[in-house]
Amino acid sequence: MTEESTPQSEQRRRSRSFGEVAEMYDAARLPYPDQLFDDVLAFAGPQGAPALEIGAGTGKAALAFAARGVPLTCIEPDPRMAELLSRKCADLPEATVTVTVGEFETWHPDRRYGLLYAAQAWHWIDPEVRWARAREALLCPGGAIALFWSDWHVVDAALRGGLVAAHDRHFAETFPDEFVGSRTGGPASWVRQELAADGGFEDLEQRTYTSVHERSTAGFMDLLSSHSAYRIMPGGKREALFAEVEPLVAAHGDTVRLETTTRLFLARTGP
């Protein structure tokens, strides 16, 4: 197996695909629930600031925490995403958000944090080191970790069936289930298993938030285009798939109704 075809290299390629469309990604991705941010800060308590975000992207989570008065350090490996985040934070009070281009696995801060969180990003981090590094290098004793993801599910069964059929024709492997397939629970199983197996975290909690959003055909196509599974498709195959998907949605009243499920995982390091 060549380096280019290893699972690790594929994972890295997918994780770096978002910067190609940073502006579209920022506009297309749905917001996280307001209640989630309040719940994270309540769990973290007074020592939760300043906080550290891993894989900050364009700041979908960072700006929500900053709006609640939390000073942040944001680590983002893609300089294009980091540059957009920096621009979005330019009008905030000085030192509210510090953006650093870097890799979680090798970054060395000059302090520890009371809260470490990752929004739609923790699965990109090397599983061999992510938990131990969070505990041993970045979090204070008793510090909180908060990890959250959103999955989007097409509500209408008839539209979903048409989308599944189109995806089956164009994806060589399993397509991104959170959009058009069955509800799978996302990261629920592996996050809990890995946290428990690590042995260095306690007070594990899981919370779920649901909401419904509507997207136009163009908005739905942009949302698909912001997903790594579509970003790494060969251009011709992606165009062929989208050429089927777009008229399906347009024929459905030019609207897609999406049920959004956001799962939050909380834990603390030991004293």
170: nearest Cα among 256, 248, 253: 248
> What CATH number does domain 3-269 carry, 3.40.47.10, 3.10.400.10, 3.30.470.20, 3.40.50.150?
3.40.50.150
Instruction: Copy the structure tokens of residue 43.
Output: 């769990």
First to last CA, the chain: 44
Per-residue confidence band for 82, with pLDDT thresholds at 50, 70 and 90 = very high
Q: Residue ranges per domain, the chain? A: 3-269
DSSP string, the chain: --GGGSHHHHHHHHHTSGGGGHHHHHHHSPPPPHHHHHHHHHHHGGGG-SEEEES-TTSTTHHHHHHTT--EEEEES-HHHHHHHHHHTTTSPTTSEEEEE--TTT---SS-EEEEEEES-GGGS-TTTHHHHIIIIIEEEEEEEEEEEEEEEE--HHHHHHHHHHHHHH-SS---HHHHS----TTHHHHHHHHHHH-SEEEEEEEEEEEEEEEEHHHHHHHHHTSHHHHTS-HHHHHHHHHHHHHHHHTTTTEEEEEEEEEEEEEEE--
Residues 103-135: tens digit of each pLDDT:
999 998 889 999 999 999 998 899 999 999 999
- pLDDT higher than 70, residue 181: no
Output the average pLDDT for the chain. Answer: 86
User: What pTM does this model have?
Assistant: 0.89
For residue range 224-249, list pLDDT tens digits in order: 888 888 887 877 888 999 999 999 99
